[in-house]
Structure 1
Amino acid sequence: MLHPDDVTSPWIRIRRWLQSNAAASAQALNPPATDTDIQHLNDSLGFRIPQVLETWLRLNNGSSAKDSRIPIPGEFQLVPHLDSKIFPGGEVFLDCQSIIDRHQQFLRIADGIEDDDWWKPSWIPVLAETDAHYGLLLDVGHADESAPVPVLAYRETDYATHYASSLGHVLNAVANALEDRREGGVLTHGRHASVKDGQVIWD
C-alpha cells in the first residue's frame, strides 16, 4: 500500500516512463535540486518546506529545463516550453525558483485585492498551467503536523479547494495512468496519455 508521503516510488515510475516513451518530455526534467537551491527556497518562503516536497525536488528540480524567463517590470515571467507540460492538466512541475516567483506573485495579488483568503503565506505552488491560471499547491498551514500535507487546487478567479490528501497520491495516480495507458480518475482529470513527437499528451 502506498504511504501518502511516498513521492519517490511514483516519481521514479513517471520518470522511467517518460524516458522510455516520451523522450522530449523527459528532457524537460531538470537535474536534482542542490542544497543551495533548497536553502534559497526555504529562505525565500520564510519557512522550511515539507520533507515530501524536498524529496521530490531532490529527485528533479522541476520540469522546466527547456523553459525561458523573460524580464517584466520588477520580476521575471516564466515561459514554459510545451515539453514541460507533463501533468494531466497541462501543468508544469515547478522548479525551486519558479515556486518562489509564483509564491511571491500570488501574495502580491492577495495583498492588492485585500483578500488574505485568496492566497496564504503557508501555501506552496508545485504545479502550474502554462498561463498560471490553474495549478496545485501544498498547504503546510494545516494544524496536524503528523498528517500528510494536503494538496489544494487553485485558480486565479476562485479560492483554492481540496484536491488530494497528499502529493504521493497525486503522483501515484499519474504513474498508474501513464503505465496503464487508459483513462485516469479524478486526480488525472479523467484524461489518458498518448505520445506525439516524443512529447506526452493528455487528452
Structure 2
Amino acid sequence: MTVDVDLPDHIRARCIELGDGVLYAVKTLARQLADDPRLGERAGRLGLYAATIDSDTFDACPSLIVRYAHGPPLLDVDRIEIRDVEATGPLPDAGDEQAPAEVPDPRRQQIVARQVTDAWRRIISWLEQHASATRAALLPGASTYEIAALEQALGVRVPVELRALWLLCAGGKDTPGAGVMPDYDWALMQLGTVATSYRWQRDNRRKLGLGWSADDETVWKPSWIPFCSWSVTDTSYGLFVDAETGKVGHWDDTSVRTVGDQTLSMLLEETADKLENPQPATGRLPGLIGGRLVWEPPLAADEAALWERFTG
C-alpha cells in the first residue's frame, strides 16, 4: 500500500533555486518514499526522517539531504510531508553562457513513437507467422509505472522511442530463440537487466581507478541507455540508445563504445523490411531453426546444418 507524499509549493521553489536537476531528484525520491516511508533515517525527533541523494545519481544535481515527516505525532494521518531540502555539495556550475534546454517537440515525439510502434508490430506479425518460438520468448509490454521506476533507478529520462518499444515489449525470456534484432541475434533486455547493466557500465571504470575524459571512447555517458544484449543474460556485448540524440550505439567486452547513425525507429524499420522482403536485403539475413529466428547460420556445425534461410 502506497502512502501519499506532499511536496509543498515552497519546497518546490527551493528545489528550483538549487538547480535544474534538484526538483526531478526530489520527486523521484518522493515516489520511492510512497512505497517505503522509512527509506530515510530517523532525524532525532519522533516521526522525522532524513534521506540523502548522491550527486552521482542525477544529472545537474548536488548531493542533498531531504528531511520529511511521516505520520503521527507530526502529522495527523499516515502520510509524508517533505519539510526541507538542503544541498550538502557544490551546486552545478551553469556557466555564464549556458544554452537553455531544448524543449521536446510533442508532434515529433508522437511521430517517432508511431514509427517505433508500426515497425514493431510488423516484426511481431512476421514472428507469429514464421517464428513462433521467438514470438513466445518475448515478454508483454511494461506498464508506465515500471518505466517510471526504471527512470528512478537510472536517474535519466527514457527517450520516447525506447518508451514506445518497452510499452509493447519489456524484453525477452531467458530461453533459446529470444534473439530478435540483427546483426547478431540481439535479445531485448528485461528492464531489471537494463538498470543493472547501466549501473555497471557507469561504475566499472571508477571501480578500476581509471581516469575520465570527455573524448575517451570507453566512457559510458549518462544518456546512453542499454536495450539489447548478446543474450537476455549475457550483457558483455549490446546496443544502447543515446537519449540525447536518439542514435543507437554499440558496446563490447573490451569496453569500446561506438555510436552509429541509425535511430531506434530506423533500426526497427530495417529489421521489419529484412523480414518481410529478404530477397533484396543486404548484410546478415534472416533464417529459421525449428521456429526460432536466427540471423545467419550459427557457428556451431550441428545448428548450422539445421538453419534454413528465409526467402519469403
Do the two structures share a fold, i.e. TM-score over 0.5? yes
Q: Secondary structure at the match of 1:83?
A: coil
- What corresponds to 1:18 in structure 2? 127
How many residues align? The count is 176
Question: Distance between the aligned counterparts of 1:194 and 1:115, measured in 2?
Answer: 44
Q: Does the alignment pair 1:101 with 2:196?
A: yes
* CA drift at 1:50: 0.8
CA-based RMSD: 1.8
- What corresponds to 2:256 in structure 1? 159
Q: Does the alignment pair 1:196 with 2:305?
A: no
* CA drift at 1:133: 2.6
* CA drift at 1:197: 0.9
Residues 152-181 of structure 1, C-alpha deviations (whole Å, 9 max, x = no match): 111121421122331000001111111113
User: What TM-score results when the alignment is normalised by the length of structure 1?
Assistant: 0.79
- What corresponds to 2:170 in structure 1? 61
Residues 37-84 of structure 1, C-alpha deviations (whole Å, 9 max, x = no match): 11111100102211111111001111x23x1xxxxxxxxxxxxx2211
User: What TM-score results when the alignment is normalised by the length of structure 2?
Assistant: 0.53
Question: Distance between the aligned counterparts of 1:166 and 1:115, measured in 2?
Answer: 30
Runs of 4+ aligned residues of structure 1 deviating over 6 Å after TM superposition are none
Point out the structure with max Rg over C-alpha.
Answer: 2
Question: Distance between the aligned counterparts of 2:211 and 2:244, measured in 1?
Answer: 17
- What corresponds to 2:176 in structure 1? 82
* CA drift at 1:141: 3.9
Q: Which runs of 5+ in 2 are unaligned?
A: 1-110, 297-312
**Do the aligned residues in 2 keep the contact of 1:181 with 1:194 (CA within 8 Å)?**
no
Question: Distance between the aligned counterparts of 1:14 and 1:132, measured in 2?
Answer: 23
Letter in 2 for 1:180: N
Residues 119-170 of structure 1, C-alpha deviations (whole Å, 9 max, x = no match): 122210011113323211111245xxxxxx1111111214211223310000
**Structure of higher RCO (CA pairs closer than 8 Å, 6+ residues apart):** 1
Q: Secondary structure at the match of 1:157?
A: coil
Question: Distance between the aligned counterparts of 1:44 and 1:52, measured in 2?
Answer: 19
Q: Which runs of 5+ in 1 are unaligned?
A: 68-80, 143-148
Distance 1:25-1:134 versus aligned 2 partners, 3 A rule:
same
- What corresponds to 2:108 in structure 1? none
Q: Percent identity?
A: 28
Question: Distance between the aligned counterparts of 1:184 and 1:93, measured in 2?
Answer: 23
Question: Distance between the aligned counterparts of 2:281 and 2:197, measured in 1?
Answer: 28
Q: Secondary structure at the match of 2:165?
A: helix
Distance 1:121-1:115 versus aligned 2 partners, 3 A rule:
farther
